[in-house]
Amino acid sequence: MEAEAGGTERGRARDPRRALGRLVQAVLCSRGEANAVFDVLAALQSEDQEEIQEAVRACSRLFGALLERGELFVGQLPSEDMVMAGSQGAMRKYKVWMRHRYCSCCNRLGELLVHPTFQVKELALGTLMKFVQLEGAHPLEQPKWEGHYLFPRTLFRVVVGGLLSPTDDQSLLLSQFREYLEFDDVRYHTMQAASDAVAQVTNQQPEPPLTFWNNAFTLLCAVSLPLQEQDLSTFYVKHVELLDKWKVTHLREHRKVFQTMWLSFLKHKLPLSLYKKVLLVMHDSILPHLAQPTLMIDFLTSACDVGGAISLLALNGLFILIHKHNLEHPDFYRKLYGLLDPSIFHVKYRARFFHLADLFLSSSHLPAYLVAAFAKRLSRLALTAPPEALLMVLPFICNLLRRHPACRVLVHRPQGPELDSDPYDPEEEDPAQSRALESCLWELQTLQRHYHPEVSKAASVINQALSVPEVSIAPLLELTAYEVFEQDLKKKGPEPVPLEFIPAQGLLGRRDDLCAQFFTLS
């Protein structure tokens, strides 16, 4: 029974292919058989995935050939009924009719881009892009003047719209699409179409689902502009010659479109996870390509005010704007100061944050009170940090002191009075008001008693006058506890390993040991 069923299945699978092949052949051979197109299009609507694939292939062959032959109507498409009713020549009727079939085929393919099976999606995308290429080479609209740049925008919009589906996760398909983005014209039109699509979706739904944002972000991220001005000549649609007046050939125009695309994307309220992703790529794949990077100020400042990891990530972009584009941001260091809380030693972005903080505080023109406040705050926080973070933050603090000799009073105050309490105010948000310069880094003195030998050593540096050259913290940024552990294991100790000389009496030790006090075996 089953074998038979399988057999018939296969037979059916083979049959449609042959049948479709015959139909396509018939349509291509004689115009009389044109009605067979309907059968092919009907197969596109099928439920069966194999059949759809066959149909897509057949369509691709059929309309590809028709496009090349020029058997599709060129120009503004009149409505079908009007033409059929009208008394124009049969040839024109045929072309208009065929063009309508082509349109419905394209629409259906666009719908197939959100088909549940990936093969179908992939095939549909491939076919659509093939049509884009052919249509670009044999435009379906009249050039308005000599050297008019034509690109099948409507068709391409269908493609991008399908890619930015609000319902399906298209990340796989987008990675397929990435290879088309190598072409300069495809990239240019993708950017245009993407901003349109985003605007369209957000108009329709006030709060689009997460999948849409993810798709959009993936697509937007995939777009990468060349940094240097070079001739943009790798085109997907083949042209006989590239004219200089076409916008597509200029990087400046690309940048403009790139900017509009990102701004139209970022002006919406993004989900939190996406926020982080955007900020992560902001400094190296968005900001350098914008025509006017200063337009990002609003976005970045608002991100900076969010707090936590997001503001941390926003700092980088903000710093680039301040550093390279003359942005005036009075509260920048105050915000940075506010970001320092115990969690920075435990978050994922620790290395990045300290790298940036090192960068921000590298200027020797910073006021001493500010640097002192940072040093004091960091050493306060160091009291809660794990050893791997301490190994990084202690040299960091020492570097600050090295860079700013005025801050050395923090570790060396010869004739200072003895105090009853620490003058530093940890609650104060303004580094200027924190009275850090009046304080000393007693925290480092505390950490000299840390249980880990390396930390203790690192903290003991302040006992001597600080050496002049700074210690590079770059190799320490990514230090993990596991690495520290491995280093400890590898370090050679004194040759006979020292042993405990008080003999063990049991698992929990003696009666006065802590474990024995609070825990029992049974």
| Positions 475 through 514 that interact with other proteins (CB under 8 A) | 480-482, 484-486, 488-489, 491-494, 496-509, 513-514
Applying CB under 8 A, among 256, 325, 329, 452 the residue interacting with other proteins is 452
Q: Give 76-80 contacts, CB < 8 A, sequence gap 24+.
A: 76/141, 77/103
288 vs 416, beta carbon nearer other proteins = 416
Specify whether the CB–CB gap between 120 and 176 falls below 8 A.
Answer: no
- CB of 410: closest distance to other proteins in angstroms? 7
Specify whether the CB–CB gap between 257 and 281 falls below 8 A.
Answer: no
- CB of 501: closest distance to other proteins in angstroms? 4
Residue 464 interacts with other proteins (CB under 8 A): yes or no: yes
Applying CB under 8 A, among 411, 458, 476, 479 the residue interacting with other proteins is 411
In angstroms, the CA 387 to CA 381 distance is: 12
Applying CB under 8 A, among 22, 413, 430, 478 the residue interacting with other proteins is 413
Closest to 60 measured CA to CA, from 149, 141, 126: 126
Q: Which token pair is 342? A: 């115990």
In angstroms, the CA 378 to CA 385 distance is: 10
- Residue 69 main-chain phi, psi, to 5 deg: -75, -15
- CB of 352: closest distance to other proteins in angstroms? 16
In angstroms, the CA 477 to CA 483 distance is: 12
- CB of 387: closest distance to other proteins in angstroms? 6
- CB of 275: closest distance to other proteins in angstroms? 19
Applying CB under 8 A, among 67, 410, 437, 479 the residue interacting with other proteins is 410
- CB of 309: closest distance to other proteins in angstroms? 13
194 vs 462, beta carbon nearer other proteins = 462
Residue 468 interacts with other proteins (CB under 8 A): yes or no: no
Applying CB under 8 A, among 414, 468, 469, 475 the residue interacting with other proteins is 414
- CB of 350: closest distance to other proteins in angstroms? 11
Residue 421 interacts with other proteins (CB under 8 A): yes or no: yes
Residue 5 interacts with other proteins (CB under 8 A): yes or no: no
Residue 522 interacts with other proteins (CB under 8 A): yes or no: yes
Applying CB under 8 A, among 91, 359, 465, 474 the residue interacting with other proteins is 465
* Residues 369-398 close enough to bind other proteins by CB under 8 A: 380, 383-387
Residue 343 interacts with other proteins (CB under 8 A): yes or no: yes
In angstroms, the CA 382 to CA 150 distance is: 63
Helix, strand, or coil here: 72?
coil
Q: Give 471-476 contacts, CB < 8 A, sequence gap 24+.
A: 471/395, 471/398, 471/399, 473/354, 473/358, 473/392, 473/395, 473/396, 473/399, 474/355, 476/391, 476/392, 476/395
In angstroms, the CA 201 to CA 205 distance is: 6
- CB of 355: closest distance to other proteins in angstroms? 20
**Rounded CA Rg of the chain:** 34
204 vs 520, beta carbon nearer other proteins = 520
143 vs 342, beta carbon nearer other proteins = 342
122 vs 470, beta carbon nearer other proteins = 470
- CB of 509: closest distance to other proteins in angstroms? 6
Applying CB under 8 A, among 450, 471, 475, 476 the residue interacting with other proteins is 450
- CB of 9: closest distance to other proteins in angstroms? 42
Residue 245 interacts with other proteins (CB under 8 A): yes or no: no
Residue 260 interacts with other proteins (CB under 8 A): yes or no: no
Give how far the C-alpha of residue 430 lies from the chain's centroid of Cα atoms, to the nearest Å: 34
Residue 341 interacts with other proteins (CB under 8 A): yes or no: yes
Closest to 252 measured CA to CA, from 290, 288, 294, 285: 290
90 vs 497, beta carbon nearer other proteins = 497
- CB of 223: closest distance to other proteins in angstroms? 30
- CB of 471: closest distance to other proteins in angstroms? 17
Applying CB under 8 A, among 14, 148, 324, 346 the residue interacting with other proteins is 346
Beta-carbon contacts of 195 under 8 Å, excluding residues fewer than 6 positions away, are: 257, 260, 261, 264, 265
- In eight-state DSSP terms, residue 285 is I
* Residues 104-123 close enough to bind other proteins by CB under 8 A: none
How many residues bind other proteins (CB under 8 A)? The answer is: 76
Q: Residue 273 corresponds to which amino acid?
A: S
* Residues 427-446 close enough to bind other proteins by CB under 8 A: 440-443, 445-446
Give how far the C-alpha of residue 228 lies from the chain's centroid of Cα atoms, to the nearest Å: 22
* Residues 218-237 close enough to bind other proteins by CB under 8 A: none
Burial of 74 (0-12, 13-18, 19+ CB in 10 A): middle
How far lies 381's CA from each of 44, 91, 390, in Å?
A: 64, 82, 10
In angstroms, the CA 500 to CA 453 distance is: 19
